[in-house]
Amino acid sequence: MTNSETKATLSFSDGSPSLEMPIYKGTVGPDVIDIRKLYGATGMFTYDPGFMSTAACNSSITYIDGDKGELLYRGYPIEQLAVNGGDFMETCYLLLNGELPTAAQKTEFVDTVTKHTMVHEQMQFFFRGFRRDAHPMSVLVGTVGALASFYHDSLDINDPHHREVSAIRLIAKMPTLVAMAYKYSIGQPFVYPRNDLSYSANFMYMMFSNPCEPYKVNEVLVRALDRILILHADHEQNASTSTVRLAGSSGANPFACIAAGIACLWGPAHGGANEAALDMLTKIGSVDNIPEFIKQVKDKNSGVKLMGFGHRVYKNYDPRAKLMRETCYEVLQELGLQDDPLFKLAMALEKIALEDEYFVSRKLYPNVDFYSGIVQRALGIPTSLFTGIFALARTVGWIAQWKEMISDPEQKIGRPRQLFVGSPTRKVPPIAERG
Ligand code: CMC
C-alpha cells in the first residue's frame, strides 16, 4: 500500500479525542481512509452493510468508473479489448499476468490451457449422481468443488507453482464441466474436448456435437461467445469475487474458493439477471404492450422492474451493453434472424426507456444483461445455463483476484464485525419456568 502524507481527522461529538487516519490514493478512483486503527483507538467499529463505502482490499486488476461508464482490465478499456484485443485467451493472460501476451507468450499459454481441458474420467460419476433436472449451477457448485479431490498435486496455496497450475486447471476445465452439465441435463453422452479448436470453439463443440452429428464450427457464433466471455471476465469486487476472496482468506484451496464464487453468482440479484431480462421480454410480448409495461415499472407498488436496466456502480450506459448490442445484431444477422421479435422489442424498449424522465432522472441505463440473454438464446444455449456461462467467463477473474490476494502481504483472514442488537447476557431458566 502506498504511504500517504494526507490524513483525515475524525472528531467525535461525545468528547472523545479526535483521531488522525491516513488517506491513500489509488492510481484512479476515490481515495480511501485507512480505518484499521479505529477500533483500537476508540472502541468503535464502522457500520457499512453491503460495503457501500468500504474498500476491502487493494487491487490492480479491474477498474470501473461508474459515472463515465468505463471498464478497464489492467488499464485497457473493455471496448479496445473486445474489438482489437484478440480473443478470450488474451484477456485471460492479461487478467492473470498484468500484461497482454506477446505472440510467443500467447502460444505457450494457449498450449498449456489446451492441455488441461480434460477432466478426470472419474468426474463423470459425480455427474451421474445428480438428477437430470438439477439446475446446472448446483451441478457446477458440486463438481468444481469436487476438483479439489482429484488434483491434490496443486493444492498448496503457498507454492506459486501450485497456484499457477490450479489457475490453469480451473480455466481449462470450466468449459468441459459446463458442457457436461448441459449434456447430462438433456440425456446426451458427454463430449470430450478437442484440442485442435480454440477455447470458445471447443466449448461450442462440446455443447452441440453428438456422436451422430458432428458440430460445424461457425466463426461468427464462436466470436460472439468469445465476446460474452471477455465482457464477463472480471468486474472489480462484486459479490461473487468478494466471496472468492473471503473464502480464500482462510487459506482454503482454489477449487473450493471458486465453488463458493459460483454459489454466490447463482443468486438472482447477481448472475441471474440475463435470464430475467429474457423472461421479461417474452412476457411483454409485443411493442404495443411497452407503454403499459413502463407504467407498471414506474408504479412502486407493482414490484415490476425493467430487468437489464440499472446498476449499482454504472450511472451511465454500461460499456459492456453497447458491445453486447453490437454482437446481438451480428449473431441475428448471421442466423438470418434479423427480424427476431425479441430483439426488435428490446430495441424499442431501450429507446423508450432512454427518453423517459423516470429512467433519465435516476440514471438508469441498459446493463450487459439487457442483450446477453438474446445472444445466448440465439447461440442455442438454454436459459438455465446462462448463469453457468457467466461462471465460466468469470472464473479467470475470480482466480486472478484470488492469486492477487494470496500474494498481498497485507492480506488477513476476512472477519467482519457487527453491531449486536440481540439480548445481552442472561441466565438459562429451567424448562418448567420458560414460556
Ligand atoms: N427498473 C425500475 N426502476 C429501477 C430499476 C429498474 N431496473 N433499477 C433501479 N430503479 C429505481 C429504484 O426503484 C430507485 O427508485 P427511487 O429512487 O424512486 O426509489 C432508483 O432507481 C435507484 O435504484 P436503487 O435500487 O437504489 O439502485 P441499486 O444500485 O441499489 O440497484 C440494481 C441496482 C442493478 C440491483 C437495480 O438497478 C436492478 O434491480 N436492476 C434490474 C436487475 C438487473 O438488471 N441486474 C443486472 C445488473 S448488471 C450484472 C452485473 O454487472 O453483474
Arithmetic mean of pLDDT, 39-49: 95
Return the SS3 of 252.
coil
Weakest-pLDDT range from 16-20, 56-60, 96-100, 132-136: 16-20
Task: Please tell me the residue having the least CA distance from ligand 1 atom 16.
Answer: 362
Judged against a pLDDT cut of 80, whether residue 2 lies above it is answered with no
**Ligand 1 probe mutation, 240, 279, 367, most atoms within 8 A of CB:** 367
Q: Which of 163, 194, 152 is nearest to 176 (CA)?
A: 194
pLDDT of res. 1: 59
Give the Cα separation of 43 and 421 in Å (integer).
17
Alpha carbons 326 and 319: distance in angstroms, whole number: 11
Residue whose Cα lies nearest atom 29 of ligand 1: it is: 312
Name which residue sits closest to atom 10 of ligand 1, judged by CA: 310
**Which range in 70-79, 271-280, 371-380 is most confidently predicted, on average pLDDT?**
70-79
Flag whether pLDDT at 352 surpasses 60: yes
Angle at 330 between CA 354 and CA 350, to 5 degrees: 10
Catalytic residues: 311, 369
Under a CB-based contact definition with an 8 Å cutoff, are residues 293 and 304 in contact? yes
Of the candidates 53, 21, 20, the one whose C-alpha atom is nearest the C-alpha of residue 34 is 21
Ligand 1: atom nearest CA of 271 is: 52
The rounded mean pLDDT for the chain is: 94
* Burial degree of 409 (CB within 10 A; 0-12, 13-18, 19+): exposed
Q: Which helix (H) or strand (E) holds 392?
A: helix 386-407
pLDDT band, residue 388 (cuts 50/70/90): very high
* pLDDT value of residue 3: 58
Q: Which three cell numbers stand for residue 259?
A: 465453488
Residue 276: the pLDDT is 86
CA distance 406 to 340: 47
Q: Please state whether 69 falls in left (phi above 0), alpha (psi between -120 and 50) or beta.
A: left
* Terminal Cα-to-Cα distance of the chain (whole angstroms): 55
Report whether pLDDT(5) > 80: no
Q: What is the mean pLDDT of residues 370-393?
A: 94
Q: What's the pLDDT at 273? A: 83
Which residues fall within 8 angstroms of residue 293, CB to CB, at 6 or more apart? 284, 304, 349
Compute, in angstroms, the gap from residue 312 CA to the centroid of ligand 1: 7
**With 70 as the cut, is the pLDDT of residue 123 above it?**
yes
The residues lining ligand 1, judged by C-beta closer than 6 Å to any ligand atom, are: 235, 238, 270, 273, 297, 305-312, 362, 364, 367-369
Mean pLDDT computed over 220-225: 97
Which stretch of DSSP H or E encloses residue 9?
Answer: strand 7-10
Take atom 44 of ligand 1 and give the residue whose Cα is closest.
308
Q: How far is the CA of 181 from the centre of ligand 1 (A)?
A: 31
| Inter-residue contact 341 to 242 (CB < 8 Å) | no
Number of Cα atoms under 13 Å in the Cβ half of residue 200:
23
Give yes or no for residue 126 having a pLDDT over 60.
yes
Would the pLDDT of 271 be above 90? no
Residue 271 alpha carbon to ligand 1 centre in Å = 14
What's the CA-to-centroid distance between 170 and ligand 1, angstroms?
32
Phi/psi at 6 (nearest 5 deg)?
-75, 140
Tens digits of residue pLDDT in 162-215:
999 999 999 999 999 999 999 999 999 999 999 999 999 999 999 999 999 889
Calculate the alpha carbon distances from 30 to 25, 54, 66, 330, 405 in Å. Answer: 7, 11, 12, 37, 21
268 — pLDDT class (breaks 50, 70, 90) = confident
Q: Check residue 5 and report its DSSP letter.
A: S
